[in-house]
Homo-oligomer: A and B are copies of this chain.
């Protein structure tokens, strides 16, 4: 019993266990928000850590649940923060939503209605899928007069919902009508994060808020394509010739990042630079235990002796 319980407890990253982890891992999968940056501010020591990992031959992958941007927009964000990352190393939930429709042979005559950001529309377009909504519906208002009626497109075959700071009643009604009234219409959530560091100064409602709103009005549950769903993993595995056991998922969230890593059979490292505190990790109510935890990814730089 005692042995069991010890082996389940997450270990703080230390000079002793770091070498084992480092040597056994060929690819590090990083969450972005709370790991690489907070809002638009880089977390201390990140560029040097990524440089060290590349220099040691490790593959790097960035797996973000934030669907606001497309992969190319994320590559731009990395560049603007002084980090060189190729679009192929980025897996965003906006991309995952497009890939989900693609692998499920979404009919070419059908359209997608988007509650979320430009990034989703861009990834859908790249996948050859017709989509509308998103930022274009940001300023639509509803005045509930008696003749008020929202006409919806009967060819919408999927509603994709992600983080949307421009959420409004028009979008909620449009998405609800499509899901309730168009036969077979899919309801896809990029992710269900409750909150996120949309700005450096505080946390804000995440996609989990908008997704729940549509669950509330449709009484349906979505297909989730972002973490902790392992849907993105099959793309990762195709692109990088590495087995899951030689991957380490590094993230700041237990219920998305660490669960995603565990669901996929990866090693897992929790960093405390984002939304999870050490006391939340060690709280008896928490039942998601990473293999390792540390304060921030640059601890790996110190431990590597580089």
Contacts and interface: CB of A to CB of B under 8 A. Distances in A.
B167 A205 contact: no
Interface stretch (A14-22, A94-102, A144-152, A289-297): A144-152
A166 interface: yes
A219 B201 contact: no
Contact of A212 (B148, B173, B180, B215): B215
A15 to B, nearest CB: 36
A20 to B, nearest CB: 35
A218 B215 CA distance: 15
Nearest to A175: B205
A267 interface: no
Contacts of A202: 149-150, 177
Interface residues of A, number: 45
Interface string A38-63: 01110000000000000000000000
Interface stretch (A2-10, A125-133, A191-199, A231-239): A191-199
A120 to B, nearest CB: 16
A150 B204 CA distance: 9
A213 B115 CA distance: 14
Interface string A144-162: 1111111000000000000
A205 B217 contact: yes
Interface of A: 39-41, 142, 144-150, 164-169, 172-173, 176-177, 180, 192, 194-195, 198-202, 204-206, 208-219
